Amino acid sequence: MTAPSTFGLSSEARNLHWLLTNLVEEVPGILSVAVVSSDGLLLLSSDPERNDAARQAGTERRTGPRGSAADLATIVSGVGSLTIGAARLMDFGGVKHTMVAMDEGSLFVMSISDGSLLGVHGSADCDMSVVAYHMALFVGRAGHVLTPELRSELRKSLESESTGSAR
């Protein structure tokens, strides 16, 4: 996995990038990860350019959802909204996490803070309990630092990366 550049970022943003990279590299079966803001915008991704570059080259591998990291963010945001709506409708309180097991993979969505979400795309053979445990560790470490200022910094960082790669 190629880590995104963290040059010029605050120590909190660099730490969050490190935590996300560590999550992907250390937990077997995790294919891709996205951190999404409460308004559905991608804040952080395990590899924001991998899928875009592969699609443009016509060599897309089956290592994550089709398309870009933004597509995973869209899926995570949609699943998060759906489960939050269901919890409200059923009056069951807040949603802690959602797991979707499919024939060839899994999707995990976990609340971080202020409506932000952590989304993980896992392989079919991943150990769901191990992935969920490590996601909870990430959320515990990241939740208190994911302030509005840090979310803004992460968004700007992703925007500058995408404008830089589009050249």
- Domains in the chain: boundaries: 11-165
Q: Which residue has the higher pLDDT, 93 or 50?
A: 93
What's the confidence (pLDDT) of residue 147? 85
Mean per-residue pLDDT, 80-98: 92
Please, which pLDDT band fits residue 28 given cuts at 50, 70 and 90?
A: very high
8 Å CB contact between 99 and 121:
no
What's the confidence (pLDDT) of residue 115? 83
What pLDDT, in 10s, does the model give residues 109-161?
Answer: 999 987 899 999 999 999 999 999 999 999 999 888 888 889 889 888 887 77
**pLDDT higher than threshold 60 for residue 57:** no
Please, what is the average pLDDT of the chain? 82
Classify domain 11-165 at the CATH topology level: Beta-Lactamase (3.30.450)
What pLDDT, in 10s, does the model give residues 29-55?
Answer: 999 999 999 888 899 998 645 434 333
Q: Using only the alpha carbons of the chain, give its radius of gyration.
A: 15
8 Å CB contact between 57 and 50:
no
Token digits of residue 89:
């409708």
Residue 73 CA to residue 46 CA, distance in Å, equals 11
Residue 110: Cβ-neighbour burial (10 angstroms; 0-12, 13-18, 19+): buried
What's the confidence (pLDDT) of residue 126? 94
Contacts 24+ apart (CB under 8 A), 93-101: 97/132, 97/135, 97/136, 99/128, 99/132, 101/128
**pLDDT higher than threshold 80 for residue 64:** no
Torsion of Cα atoms, 23 then 69 then 148 then 78, to 10°? -100
What's the confidence (pLDDT) of residue 136? 95
Residue 162 CA to residue 159 CA, distance in Å, equals 5
